[in-house]
Amino acid sequence: MTINAIETTAGGRRVLLLRPDVSQPVRCGIDLVAAAAHARETGGAIYLLLDGESMPVSVDGVPVITPHGVQRLWLSAVWRTASAAKDVRAWWRHLETSVAHEWRRELRRHIGDDQLPLELRQRLRTLAEASTRRGRTETSAFPRRMLRASSAVSLLPDFVEEARSQLTALGITDGRPLVTFESRTRPDIAAAVMELLVSEGYAVARIGEPADGVRSCDGVVDLTTSSRPLSLEMFLVYASAFIMCESIDLQQLAYLVNTPSLVINARDPFVAYPLRKNGLFALSAAIDLEAAQPITIGDMLTQPYFRDLHKQQVRGRRRGSHGYRDNTVEELTEAIKEMRAGIADGWASESESQSRFRQRVVEAGTALAPISAHVAEWGPDDGFIGDGRLVRFQADRVS
């Protein structure tokens, strides 16, 4: 299992134990979808260990049980023991990795020593390589295959009713199809995109960070400044014709409620690659800061690019070798056009360049996974990256 669930037996059958953290609805939503897929395959059930708030969802075809009394106590103990074992394993792995890392550094120092006999140096090289393999941290890969099929999770009718009335109070009515727009892009671009969506007949719900100068009238409801429960955000995505977002959390929330998603300003082709057919994504323009010119999308599938991204995102370096430019209004207009066409024709018309790009991502991911933990986590799952696509105008550029 690569999801945050524990497999055990209860009442004589195999069950999956989940302890949803309601403060992270996306994470636990994804866990639930993946667990449902797994339970359906094995004919098992899902046991939810809820601490307080209940989840406003049901899973079709899989029994979801909330244990009580002695059974709950027993399953909680199983959960705690398994979690503690998992933590200890992770701690041990981390320790092992750092020792291996130091050992490898020491060996490398001697490999470069000309005064040592060649045979010994070659021997040391073999040892260093073995240590590299041993020292690789275990990554739990994003379960792409499990999440491939449309989610069997549906929102409970009571919750839907309540959320709908809350949205009406916020100014979102059923009159026009809704688009949820979340972006940290420049205000001028965001304003132009929302104006376009409104002119196409959509109502726009803007969420995310408040931005200077973005309209909150004429079909646009600005929800960036008001606080709202996360479950309402889930409903907002559920009620939308499609979502436009920059954050991966929101894309995953869209998987949960089967809403088409368009990810914009993506920096990482693996993380953002959509799982489902109804997903599109557009990459930011990555700029080589030393040469002051954009790199190609093909270059965004190479090891140096991911090494740099890792330095910035994980090690928190102030600056990497790449800068980024947001998608332009023209690019987003194209992407919206493609999204609308996809919804209208049932996502039948994938171009050759888009298929080729998918293949390229799979190949690059397969090659990079053994040397990059990040790609191992987010890259192809047994040769499957996703049924979604890169927006056509960018895919055409790659080929």
Q: Which is nearer to another protein, 33 or 329 (CB)?
A: 329
Q: Is 311 in the site for another protein (CB under 8 A)?
A: no
318 binds another protein (CB under 8 A): yes
Radius of gyration of the chain from Cα atoms?
24
Nearer Cβ to another protein (114/212): 212
Q: Which of 114, 291, 315, 382 binds another protein (CB under 8 A)?
A: 291
3-state secondary structure of 86: helix
> What is the number of other CB atoms lying within 10 angstroms of the CB of residue 123?
14
At its nearest, how many Å lie between another protein and the CB of residue 285?
Answer: 8
CB of 169 to another protein, least distance (A): 20
* Shortest separation between residue 324's beta carbon and another protein, angstroms: 5
- Do residues 251 and 261 make contact, with C-beta atoms less than 8 angstroms apart? yes
Report the nearest approach of another protein to the CB of residue 40 (Å). Answer: 42
- Choice between 96 and 195, CB closer to another protein: 195
One residue of 292, 346, 348, 382 binding another protein per CB under 8 A = 292
Q: Indicate the SS3 state at residue 369.
A: coil
Q: Per-residue contact track with another protein, 191 to 210, x per CB under 8 A?
A: xx--x---------------
We find the least distance from the C-beta atom of residue 282 to another protein, in angstroms, to be 15
Residue (of 258, 225, 231, 236) closest to 181 by Cα position = 236
Interacting residue with another protein among 135, 171, 177, 294 (CB under 8 A): 294
**CA distances for 352 relative to 348, 390, 395, angstroms:** 12, 12, 9
Q: Count of alpha carbons within 13 Å of 182, Cβ hemisphere only? A: 26
Nearer to another protein, 225 or 227 (CB): 225
206 with 185: CB under 8 angstroms? no
Minimum CB separation of residue 94 from another protein in Å reads: 24
* CA angle in degrees (0–180, nearest 5) for 62-65-67: 160
385-395: b (≥16 Cβ within 10 Å) or e: bbbbbbbbebb
Q: How far is the CB of 246 from another protein (least distance, A)?
A: 11
Minimum CB–partner distance for residue 263 and another protein (Å): 17
Please, which residues have CB within 8 angstroms of residue 274's CB and are 6 or more apart in sequence? 251, 261, 263, 280, 281, 386, 387, 388, 389
Between helices 230-238 and 157-170, what is the axis angle to 10°?
A: 90
Number of residues that bind another protein (CB under 8 A): 30
Q: Which stretch binds another protein (CB under 8 A): 69-77, 93-101, 178-186, 274-282?
A: 178-186
Q: Is 54 left (phi over 0), alpha (psi -120 to 50) or beta?
A: beta
Q: Which stretch binds another protein (CB under 8 A): 46-54, 286-294, 336-344, 379-387?
A: 286-294
* Residue 79 structure tokens: 């959960």
DSSP state of 381: B
Residue of the chain from 122, 161, 184, 371 that contacts another protein (CB under 8 A): 184
Question: Does residue 304 interact with another protein by CB under 8 A?
Answer: no
Provide the minimum distance between the beta carbon of 313 and another protein in the complex, in angstroms, as a whole number.
13
Report the alpha-carbon distance of residue 127 to residue 114 in Å, rounded: 18
- Residue 171 found at the interface with another protein (CB under 8 A): no
Q: In the complex with another protein, which residue's Cβ is closer, 192 or 373?
A: 192
Residues that bind another protein (CB under 8 A): 184-188, 190-192, 195, 212-217, 285, 287-294, 318-319, 323-326
